[in-house]
Structure 1
Amino acid sequence: MIGDSLEVLWTWTPFLLEGLYWNVVITLLATMLGTCVGGVLAVLHLSPSRFIARGVGFVVSVFRNVPSLVLLFYAATLIPNQIDLGGTIVNIPDWLKASIALAASPTGFTALNLHTSILYWRQGQRRAAMLFIPNWLGGLMITLLASSTASLVGVSELVGQCNTVIAATGTTYLVPIYVYALCLFFALCYPLSLALGGLKRHMAAKYA
């Protein structure tokens, strides 16, 4: 049984790694979008206008408190599969929709934490301000783990690929396949986690 499971996993590893690739793509794009939008909101939050500052604060609260899974289904439903740009048809793939939906979390995170970091920097608290960087990387890892929900809207990321493999090989290999997927995620995230811890220690010592 173990030998059969290992053979199945070895045979399907390239297929599963292709799914993990899409997890990384979705994560990077969602984080990039979220960082850009969140950065703009963070700057606007510094506005001397109370109306603007409070409005931005409300928007940030929405981004931080709406479940990404809900936004994922909204994006899959409301964003069209194609857009007609003056006769040119542009396709919008599911992975792009997922990236847009998952950008909500890094948007809220960046807006709140960058705003706080700017205030710390202005007060001369360099250490507290610079901790935004490792915290931002931690948010990226959270988005990476959340990217596994993209399979629910048809994206062929790692979990979706696992379901395809199980459908092809039978439920006998369900547990080994999902455990293998967990190991692939761990192999990707654990080195990042170690690097993140080292970066925090380095920055804490540098700006002590």
Structure 2
Amino acid sequence: MKGEAFRIERRRFAEGGFCSRIHWRQGMWLVLAFFGSLAVAYAQSEPQPASPSAIRTLVLWLPFILKGFGLNLLMSFIAMAVATLFGVGLGLLQISRSRLLRMPAWLVTHLFRNSPWLVILFVIMFLMPFEIRLPGGGTIIIPDWVKATFAFSLPVMANISEIVRGAINSIPKGQWDSAESLAFSRGQTLRWIILPQCIRRAIPPWMNWYALLALATPMASILGVREAVGNAQAAMEAAGARPEFLIPFYLFLLCLFFAYIYPIALLTRKLERKYVFAN
């Protein structure tokens, strides 16, 4: 009876999650709405004499904007790798039996989980040095996008720490007891029995946090990082900063990020339903 109730609750969870309610038709309508709005903006724009239209200007600067979008992706990949590496370690420290290890890990996790991303970005950008001087006399310049990438990794690291802690604690205690009865040490139990089960439970929320991280990277443009939004703003300024450029350029950025994030949301939903119903 308890097992049936548990399966019902998991089914409700799978049907009630945000990613579970996303359907590909919704994405299609959103894309059509974006491009429809783009067409309306083009129709309402009034090109100045001897000046290209907003759409033609967008096409002209498209490679420059896509180059900035490539930096967005690079920042998201590196930040997610760093966040995953340190987040897993932080999550394991949170379940440590030693209070001296567990409490600092808990403090770091909740500090970065409950701090605004923009505040963390400003703090890291201004606290990290602009260059590192080597003993031999040389210097290493630290680009702004590297500092921004590190800043974005911190809140994601804290949330991955909570994902790891929650996934480990969700494993029934009987599995720990069974492993102990077979003379497994705590480390062996964690490595060979508990963590393999946690991986598939952690993948959907891990993908959700990657999607949020990728969507957060345009905040780096506030501090001068030339990613997609920064390059789009530079392109509009170079083309004359005409007001009718705003809607086409920013709607294109919306479409660009949506086209990248939406498939991740669909895959997250698929994996979430697969793993929820498999348990």
Q: Normalising by the residue count of structure 2, what TM-score does the alignment of the two structures yield?
A: 0.69
Asked if the contact 1:121–1:129 (Cα under 8 Å) also holds between the matched residues in 2, the reply is no
Asked if the contact 1:137–1:196 (Cα under 8 Å) also holds between the matched residues in 2, the reply is yes
- 1:70 counterpart = 2:129: no
1:77-116 alignment runs, 5 A limit: 77-87=126-136, 88-116=138-166
Tell me how far apart the structure 2 counterparts of residues 196 and 10 of structure 1 sit (CA, whole Å).
Answer: 33
Matched AA of 1:93:
P
Q: Secondary structure at the match of 1:155?
A: coil
Deviation at 1:51, TM superposition (A): 3.5
Partner of 1:179: 251
Asked if the contact 2:80–2:153 (Cα under 8 Å) also holds between the matched residues in 1, the reply is yes
Partner of 1:204: 276
The count of corresponding residues between Structure 1 and Structure 2 is 207
Partner of 2:222: 152
Asked if the contact 1:127–1:204 (Cα under 8 Å) also holds between the matched residues in 2, the reply is no
Q: Which one of the candidate residues 200, 209, 222 is aligned to 1:139?
A: 209
Deviation per CA, 1:128-186: give whole Å up to 9, x if none: 76321110010000000110100011110111111101111223311111111111111
Asked if the contact 2:93–2:105 (Cα under 8 Å) also holds between the matched residues in 1, the reply is yes
Q: Secondary structure at the match of 1:121?
A: coil
Q: Structure 1: which 5+ residue stretches go unaligned?
A: none
Q: Which of 1 and 2 has greater Rg?
A: 2
Q: Which one of the candidate residues 42, 49, 52 is aligned to 1:2?
A: 42
Asked if the contact 2:168–2:198 (Cα under 8 Å) also holds between the matched residues in 1, the reply is no
Partner of 1:33: 82
Deviation per CA, 1:92-125: give whole Å up to 9, x if none: 1111000010111211111111011122236459
Tell me how far apart the structure 2 counterparts of residues 90 and 142 of structure 1 sit (CA, whole Å).
Answer: 31
Higher mean alpha-carbon deviation, 34-43 vs 93-102, is at 34-43
Q: Normalising by the residue count of structure 1, what TM-score does the alignment of the two structures yield?
A: 0.92
Deviation at 1:17, TM superposition (A): 0.6
Per the alignment, do residues 150 and 83 of structure 1 end up closer, same or farther by CA in structure 2, a change over 3 Å counting?
same
Tell me how far apart the structure 2 counterparts of residues 39 and 7 of structure 1 sit (CA, whole Å).
Answer: 47
Per the alignment, do residues 128 and 85 of structure 1 end up closer, same or farther by CA in structure 2, a change over 3 Å counting?
closer
Asked if the contact 1:47–1:53 (Cα under 8 Å) also holds between the matched residues in 2, the reply is yes
Q: Structure 2: which 5+ residue stretches go unaligned?
A: 1-40, 44-52, 176-193
Higher mean alpha-carbon deviation, 139-148 vs 75-84, is at 75-84
Partner of 2:32: none
- 1:22 counterpart = 2:22: no
- 1:61 counterpart = 2:131: no
Partner of 2:15: none
Higher mean alpha-carbon deviation, 44-53 vs 9-18, is at 44-53
Q: Which one of the candidate residues 200, 209, 220 is aligned to 1:130?
A: 200
Asked if the contact 2:164–2:198 (Cα under 8 Å) also holds between the matched residues in 1, the reply is no
Asked if the contact 1:23–1:144 (Cα under 8 Å) also holds between the matched residues in 2, the reply is yes
Asked if the contact 1:16–1:158 (Cα under 8 Å) also holds between the matched residues in 2, the reply is yes
